[in-house]
Amino acid sequence: MANNLHDQHRLKKGLTIFDKKNRDEVLVNPLFIAAKKGDSQAAVQLVESLWNEDKSQELRQLILPEKSPIFFSVPSTSRLNQVPIAYARFLAQQTQDLGGTFLVGDEYIAPLHTSMMKSVKNGNRLMSPRLYEPYNEMFFERLREHAQFSQIILVEDILTTGSSVNTFRRFLQHNDIPVDCIVGIKGDTDLSPTQKEIDKLEKQARKVGVVDIGVNWQKLGRELTKNEISALSFQYLGSRYQKASDKTQLLMRRQLYYLYALRACLRYETAHKVEKLNHLIERRERIHD
């Protein structure tokens, strides 16, 4: 429990250039658009144009004593997005005297998912999980050695639900790579839900009757961001579920279980969970027929 509290505490100390979420002009900035399509120079110009001296001070306060920061850019699905890479390099330069370095996530980690979040409708983002694999398992061994003396800081561009960076953080942590905090251009770096929010999620699942599908709601809640829990409650555990037909409810329950298997279960557990789900679905379909 103490480690979880420490983890949440550090994540709250992440940094964004824009503290307010309504700076939507970033999304239509020609430099941002070009950088997302692979223009590395545009990415450099974007980050330099947005940065300010106040953020330099805030960044330095983020660095832990006697821990040199490693800014690790989150791999992009398209393999084109240059913003996190340029941002990580820039932050390393800003903290060079503190031993700051950077890693390009795209060079070491392969996304297994194919859908880019910007192309997925908000209502479907929960069911479009981010999955990652290292190109070479030796990378983790080397990074673990460095992590003993370093502070791992993940670098993203825009934090909307925080799903991509949170899943990447969990992926690294499951491989014994500790992540200290998150940096972005804009959004909310405080991703971890409170225990009260997780309890509310479980209570809502019981209220609508979604308790017999084998989902550990506490475990799932800890794997999601605050924004994802809100989306899950609205889309799957509210009036939409209660008003849906038996057939649609069955589909929604199936989706919930797949979400649980992909987010909250270790890989060797997932096949068993999915097999169990399929048996459950077949049985319920026979009952409805």
Residue in the block written with tokens 């590395």: 40
Instruction: Tell me the pLDDT tens digit for each residue of 239-250.
Output: 889 999 999 999
| Residue 258 pLDDT grade (very low, low, confident, very high; cuts 50, 70, 90) | confident
pLDDT of residue 275: 58
Most distant CA pair in the chain: distance in Å?
A: 69
Residue 252 has pLDDT above 50, yes or no: yes
Residue 136 has pLDDT above 90, yes or no: no
Residue in the block written with tokens 């390099």: 89
Amino acid at 46: L
Q: Topology of 2-187 in CATH?
A: Rossmann fold (3.40.50)
Residue 241 half-sphere exposure toward CB, CA atoms < 13 A: 22
Amino acid at 251: L
pTM reported for the whole predicted model: 0.82
Tell me the two tokens of residue 268.
């060797």
Long-range contacts of 51-59 (CB under 8 A, 24+ apart): 51/17, 51/90, 52/17, 55/15, 55/17, 56/94, 58/15, 59/15, 59/91, 59/94, 59/95, 59/183
Of 187, 136, 130, the closest CA to residue 164 belongs to 130
| Residue 117 pLDDT grade (very low, low, confident, very high; cuts 50, 70, 90) | low
pLDDT (mean) for 90-115: 91
Please give the DSSP secondary-structure letter assigned to residue 182. E
CA distances from 250 to 229, 245, 284 (A): 20, 9, 8
Q: Which of 90-94, 195-199, 260-264 shows the lowest mean pLDDT across its residues?
A: 260-264
- Strands 158-159 and 101-103, by their bridges, are unpaired
Residue 146 half-sphere exposure toward CB, CA atoms < 13 A: 20
pLDDT (mean) for 204-230: 90
Between 185 and 163, the higher pLDDT residue: 185
| Domains of the chain, residue spans | 2-187, 195-288
Between 102 and 11, the higher pLDDT residue: 102
* Three-state secondary structure call for residue 101: strand
Beta bridge partners, 85, equal none
| Residue 8 pLDDT grade (very low, low, confident, very high; cuts 50, 70, 90) | very low
pLDDT of residue 10: 46
> What count of other Cβ atoms lies within 10 Å of the Cβ of residue 37?
12
pLDDT of residue 284: 61
